[in-house]
Amino acid sequence: MQFVDEVVIRVKAGDGGNGCVSFRREKYIEFGGPNGGDGGDGGDVYLVAERNLNTLIDFRHQRYYEAQRGENGAGRNLTGKRGDDIEVSVPVGTVAYDEETGEMIGDLIEPGQRLLVAKGGWHGLGNLRYKSSINRAPRQSKPGTVGELRVLRMELKLLADVGLLGLPNAGKSTLISAVSSARPKVADYPFTTLYPNLGVVSVGVTQSFVMADIPGLIEGAAEGAGLGIQFLRHLARTSLLLHVVDVAPMAEENEPVRAVRTIEGELEQYSEELSNYPRWLVLNKIDILPPEERAPRCQEIVDALGWTGRVFQISAATGAGTQDLCFHIMQYLDEHADKSN
């Protein structure tokens, strides 16, 4: 299934039903008086978070949703039926914005969570409402109000604890497939990953965390080069970023220090907040280097970067160092959760 993480749709709440002008007409009752009933309220439009959805692709085929109109009032003081609400299913992690104002309407992060995005119109009033001591036979009524019409922009932000950053072919997809049950496509050419992948990493019997792999960035991504930075929004909910770097790239332009600087620059252009997220350096593909060269090569990279954060040496292909990395990630997430509580 194609992955779609941003769409624009229109939603229309139901109009309110009109009030009725009616008079009681029965034999032997000469002055029956008004008996026109009120209309019914229009139906509302809700977004509902659905656990089993993971893309917004269905909205590429249907872009307009309308709730039911309220029924008009009737004689004999009959009130019109309220219009049925409509519930639009969206993936957990969807954020809804008003396209015209840019206002965020709500963030759906829990399965089953409902968000009102368009309010139905109010019911109209029948002529019985206007009866008074000086107006015994009112012929006036009130129509229902128009239901709210809104243009929504919806963005899907995946719910993950840890996000993977890096240039194409840094080994992010290999890493997530090595530590979880996720099976992204892996190949020896750039941009193997075309959409985000999620994997659940189990650490022990009862502990686990969710890891997100997004398509690799290249220099100029902020201006639209490569796959651009459209998928960086999926890292916005993470607690920790892993910067995966190839310690022995074949191409000179992917030299580790330059690779790190490139990603840092793109992060800063995308979001200052995201660029300040906790970030660990993961030096990957150490199996390519002779054993005696691994430690000096990794230290050379760390020194050149002036890196003061956590550093891990792994081989996603062979699994070397990945278990230790996952253990420390779990430990960090547990400590972070304790501090936030």
In a domain, 72, yes or no: yes
User: In the predicted model, is pLDDT for residue 232 greater than 90?
Assistant: no
pLDDT over 70 at 341, yes or no: no
**Statement to judge: residues 276 and 215 lie in one domain:** yes
Contact 72, 142 (CB under 8 A): no
- Residue 301 neighbours by CB distance under 10 Å: 19
Q: How far apart are CA 336 and CA 253, in angstroms?
A: 36
Cα(78)–Cα(126) distance, rounded to whole angstroms? 9
Reading the block at residue 238, the tokens are 């993470």
- Count of domains forming the chain: 2
The residue ranking higher by pLDDT, 54 or 191, is 54
pLDDT tops 80 at residue 31: no
Asked if residue 1 belongs to a domain, the reply is no
Q: Are residues 250 and 172 in the same domain?
A: yes
228 band by pLDDT with thresholds 50, 70 and 90: very low
Final residue of a domain: which of 117, 138, 156?
156
Burial class (CB in 10 A: 0-12, 13-18, 19+), 37: buried
Above 70 in pLDDT, residue 93?
A: yes
> What CATH number should be reported for the domain holding residue 27?
2.70.210.12
pLDDT score recorded for residue 230: 66
Both 139 and 246 in one domain: the answer is: no
- Classified as helix, coil or strand, 117 is strand
Comparing 29-43, 279-293, 327-341, which segment has the lowest mean pLDDT?
Answer: 327-341
Residues 174 and 299 in one domain: yes
Range of lowest pLDDT (66-75, 151-160, 179-188, 233-242): 179-188
Residues 320 and 178 in one domain: yes
Query: What letter would DSSP give residue 31?
Result: -
Same-domain status, 167 and 282: yes
Phi, psi of 311 (to 5 degrees): -130, 135
Tell me how far apart the alpha carbons of residues 178 and 295 are, in angstroms, rounded to a whole number.
23
pLDDT in tens, 315-329: 999 999 999 999 999
Binding site membership for GTP: which residues? 166-173, 191-195, 213-216, 284-287, 315-317
- Same domain for 38 and 111, yes or no, is yes
Residue 222's pLDDT is 47
- Give the per-residue pLDDT at 78: 96
Looking up tokens 């990493």, which residue turns up? 201
pLDDT confidence of residue 132: 92
Element spanning 164, H or E: strand 162-165
Looking at the structure, do residues 181 and 329 belong to the same domain, yes or no?
Answer: yes
170-199 residue pLDDT tens: 889 899 999 988 766 554 544 444 577 888
Is the pLDDT confidence value at 294 over 60? yes
**pLDDT (0 to 100) of residue 249:** 83
Range name among 43-57, 188-202, 253-267 with the lowest pLDDT average:
188-202
Q: Is residue 20 part of a domain?
A: yes
CA distance 308 to 164: 19
Residues 197, 79: one domain?
Answer: no
- Enumerate the known binding-site residues for Mg(2+): 173, 193
Q: Among 141, 156, 171, give the residue marking a domain's end.
A: 156
Check pLDDT > 90 for residue 290.
yes
**Distance from the first to the final alpha carbon of the chain:** 38
Beta bridge partners of 271: none
Of 131, 156, 181, which residue sits at a domain end?
A: 156
Q: Which stretch of DSSP H or E encloses residue 198?
A: strand 197-203
State the residue range of the domain holding 267: 162-337
Q: Which residue has the higher pLDDT, 156 or 196?
A: 156
Q: Which residues are annotated as a binding site?
A: 166-173, 191-195, 213-216, 284-287, 315-317
- 8 Å CB contact between 175 and 226: no
Q: Domain check: are 17 and 80 in the same one?
A: yes
